[in-house]
Structure 1
């Protein structure tokens, strides 16, 4: 690939990321709205509102395998296009639910949320597979770092924008926008060149999971701290009567994005294992600081370090997945790899929330620090095993 070809491929991937960011607003915008909507419009409790939010993560987790199969068999572009269409249909179904009786409305809303999770799986796996196909495996870490920036940029923008649309024009208008944006994204990516599927024998999904489970476990354990900070940081500040509660997520997000911008190239340059090692240390320190914080400033520093640490673990471990898996099964492997993180996001907050009543909010960050420390141990153990296996033939 000539330098001109590399530049063209990089420009195409940047266009992909921009289209993804626009489309991913359909995922981000309803999040601050759904709990209040189900309570105020449907008369349901907070638990059912939480289910409407969380059920999308379940369907994302369960469809990572099919999304990877489609990306490997028919190309990442096809998978992403399917995902964006499913996003659009999900928004229309959620909009339809508004006109039905409360019980039926809630059931249809859940159906729309389930479909949204399916769309997320196909969109993200397709985009990563397509981007790596365009830029080449040697720059896979950069593709995944850019992907995260696009997604979390959409989250940062989508929350307040979604709440504003809902308060000004209502739920129907919000869902109409959520249906329209992925359609715009679909037309934006349509002219971009495809990356051709790579022929070759493909292993069953669960065999792929078995081969990458250690890398997936590292990224899953990293995700515990990520999930717990997002779920409990505001309540933690309030329980300690600290000021600046709103700055917790800002510090986390700022650290996350800053490191992605400055260090997104490092996994490709020096190796994913080295980057993940340093990142997990930073995350663990951040979580332990949050747990032991004596004032808001120490807690904000902990949130900043957590964001900086979490930022690079996924792309760093993703680079290692790309290295160890046959290229014809890259999408399936990355889908399985992402499922570990989905699982961590889905179960961490509910399980740790059970401890808050008796132990206080600080306990969740001790758990997050322990999880990051376990990930570090698992990473070190895996590196030592690799070195021993590499040395074995020469002994």
Structure 2
């Protein structure tokens, strides 16, 4: 009589058993990213005395490196296995941590420090590409494609929880112990990410499968990818410049802004993870984009930090379901043997957005104000809606 209920319960336990180590590993990886996002903008601008464009460049370089290696990470995942991809990514993350530490020891030579930071950001970006493409493909392969939406949702929770917690934690650590301590923790977290998945089984890789060229895969998922790219501008603006907006207006510690974005992002995913399946990815994405649009305008027009934090909260709610809503549609367009490549191509649009948005937002801030950065994010949301509407009209 309770057979179906027991089966569902067992499936949920199996899903949790498999996914928990992967989610913890992804959380550790994104703690390192959150820690750099929270401290590097202030370090580059206030400690090293570089301008806003250099701040945006340093922050955006990681995403650019991730973008340029998505094809490689997808190939490694599909031909050598998702576990191998994760392992290579985490090893490179340790290397980036050591490079960050080295940079912090030579603050008397700002150009040398900047050069080392650039190297560290590039390595960090390659590491992220390998680790996250591998983690997503690994999770989907272990639990089944019918749960791919859940895999993306929970990996996303781990990613943005890491950013939300990592940024304020790093700010506190920097004020208490200095930048070197922040970079040491980044290296240790990378090792923790490795240890989390040691016992998980590998997935068989089919190196003989005739692979579609990466550019063709990009073409297949271009609509979803472009919508994701424009929606990600708002996130890029918060991650790169919210701390400087608070500093410019003497609003105090920006930790609450990062935490508000992350908290509402995670809350939305936890309670609304079924929405893409229930209402359709297209509808959820469009509604989410309008919510994010409102959040970006709220930050741009904010008269005080309370309104700015509210804008970060709305942005988190709006941005939360866009990746899983569009991502599930993207991986359905390719064969299972190309799943890693499809995920890499889809995520590449996100990387491209962050890589370009940082420097562009830096130019906007340099020529206008930090508020103007968030009008750029609002325009991105409208462009994403336009792309989805135009594609819908063709069908």
1:280-299 → structure 2 map (5 Å cutoff): 280-291=289-300
Q: Distance in 1 between matches of 2:303 and 2:123?
A: 44
**Counterpart of 1:113?**
121
When the two chains are superposed, the root-mean-square deviation of aligned CA atoms in Å is 3.1
- Does residue 378 of structure 1 match 2:387? yes
Is contact 1:321–1:333 with CA below 8 Å preserved after alignment? yes
Q: Secondary structure at the match of 2:209?
A: coil
1:369 pairs with one of 378, 381, 391: 378
- Does residue 14 of structure 1 match 2:20? yes
Q: TM-score, normalised by structure 2?
A: 0.85
Which one is further off, 263-272 or 84-93? 263-272
- Alpha-carbon distance, 1:76 to partner: 1.4
1:93 pairs with one of 94, 99, 103: 99
Q: Secondary structure at the match of 1:31?
A: helix
Q: Secondary structure at the match of 1:154?
A: helix
Q: Which has the higher contact order (CA 8 A, sep 6+)?
A: 2
**Counterpart of 2:184?**
176
1:33-52 → structure 2 map (5 Å cutoff): 33-34=39-40, 45-46=50-51, 51-52=57-58
Q: Distance in 2 between matches of 1:48 and 1:358?
A: 14
- Alpha-carbon distance, 1:191 to partner: 0.6
Q: Distance in 2 between matches of 1:330 and 1:238?
A: 43
Is contact 1:76–1:126 with CA below 8 Å preserved after alignment? yes
Question: In structure 2, do the counterparts of structure 1 residues 243 and 166 end up closer, same or farther at CA, with 3 Å as the change threshold?
Answer: closer
2:61 pairs with one of 55, 58, 63: 55
1:209-264 CA distance string (max 9 Å, x none):
11111110000111112222344446656777889976544443332121111112
Q: Secondary structure at the match of 1:113?
A: helix
Q: Secondary structure at the match of 1:45?
A: coil
1:239-250 → structure 2 map (5 Å cutoff): 247-250=256-259
Question: In structure 2, do the counterparts of structure 1 residues 170 and 255 end up closer, same or farther at CA, with 3 Å as the change threshold?
Answer: closer
**Counterpart of 2:349?**
340
Could you tell me which runs of 5 or more consecutive residues in structure 2 were left unpaired when the two chains were aligned.
1-6
The size of the alignment, in residue pairs, is 384
Q: TM-score, normalised by structure 1?
A: 0.85
1:30-85 CA distance string (max 9 Å, x none):
334445556788x5634656544432222111111100111111221211111111
- Alpha-carbon distance, 1:339 to partner: 1.3
Q: Distance in 1 between matches of 2:304 and 2:173?
A: 36
1:143-178 CA distance string (max 9 Å, x none):
111112111211222223334444444444433332
Could you tell me which runs of 5 or more consecutive residues in structure 1 were left unpaired when the two chains were aligned.
389-395
1:95-127 CA distance string (max 9 Å, x none):
344556835554344323221111011011111
